[in-house]
């Protein structure tokens, strides 16, 4: 069977099938992992990680697992974790950004362990996770649902910002 390109995989319509994992007791990040449905071979997952002590530091990603055991991340929407350097040497000093593929790579099937190394800055209002989630859903063609938007918002608001324990 012909394998789909990264671009095709990204634009395929996806819906949220189930929550795989919700916020656990990990001391450093709150998390949400979602299984996505689509008519594509392989599996899609969305993941959200929010640093508990810096809620503007988060990452939302679209992961694709093919039927041969390949595992690729196709897109990520990041908050502010610091800088980023693109393969051409261009640097984003800080602030929210989107990771993706570009050029001919986009037209190829994802390789195992693929990581989107290019990044583009996005508007500062994406420092808020709920806003970044909406952008992620647009970019990855995921039909969001109120229920999961609330879950995402909960991750954002439940972070232990500057708690005594975190900064003892």
| Spatial distance between the Cα atoms of 45 and 145, rounded to a whole number of angstroms | 15
Q: Which residue has the tokens 């899609």?
A: 44
Count of beta carbons in the 10 Å neighbourhood of residue 107: 11
Comparing CB distances to another protein, the nearer of 56 and 151 is: 56
Q: How many CA atoms lie within 13 Å of 134's alpha carbon, on the beta-carbon side?
A: 11
Inter-residue contact 133 to 123 (CB < 8 Å): no
Size of the site for another protein (CB under 8 A): 39
The one among 5, 40, 86, 135 contacting another protein by CB under 8 A: 86
Q: Going by C-beta distance under 8 Å and a sequence separation of 6 or more, which residues neighbour residue 150?
A: none
Two tokens, residue 124: 């500062």
Decide: is 18 part of the binding site for another protein (CB under 8 A).
Answer: no
Kindly tell me which of 146 and 161 has the beta carbon lying closer to another protein: 161
Fill in the per-residue mask, 29 to 68: x = in contact with another protein (CB under 8 A), - = not in contact.
Answer: x-x---------------x-x-xxxx--x-x-x-x-----
Which one of the spans 70-78, 121-129, 139-147, 149-157 is the region binding another protein (CB under 8 A)?
70-78
The residue written with tokens 């041969």 in the block is 68
Q: How far apart are CA 14 and CA 143, in angstroms?
A: 6
User: From the list 8, 23, 71, 149, which residue makes contact with another protein (rule: CB under 8 A)?
Assistant: 71
Chain positions 128 to 167 lying near another protein, rule: CB under 8 A, are: 162, 165, 167
Which stretches of the chain bind another protein, using CB under 8 A? 26-29, 31, 47, 49, 51-54, 57, 59, 61, 63, 71, 73, 76, 78, 81-87, 93-94, 99, 113, 115-119, 162, 165, 167-168
């Amino acid at each position: 069977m012909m394998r789909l390109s990264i671009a095709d995989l990204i634009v395929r319509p996806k819906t949220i099938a189930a929550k795989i994992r919700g916020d656990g007791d990990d001391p450093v990040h709150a998390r949400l992992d979602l299984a996505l449905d689509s008519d594509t071979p392989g599996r899609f997952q969305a993941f959200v990680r929010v640093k508990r002590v810096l809620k503007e530091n988060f990452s939302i990603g679209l992961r694709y697992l093919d039927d041969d055991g390949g595992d690729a991340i196709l897109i990520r929407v990041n908050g502010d974790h610091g800088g980023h350097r693109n393969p051409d040497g261009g640097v984003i000093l800080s602030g929210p950004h989107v990771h993706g593929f570009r050029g001919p790579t986009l037209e190829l099937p994802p390789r195992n362990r693929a990581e989107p190394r290019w990044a583009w800055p996005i508007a500062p209002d994406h420092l808020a996770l709920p806003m970044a989630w909406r952008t992620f859903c647009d970019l990855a063609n995921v039909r969001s649902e109120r229920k999961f938007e609330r879950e995402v918002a909960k991750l954002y608001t439940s972070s232990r910002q500057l708690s005594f324990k975190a900064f003892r």
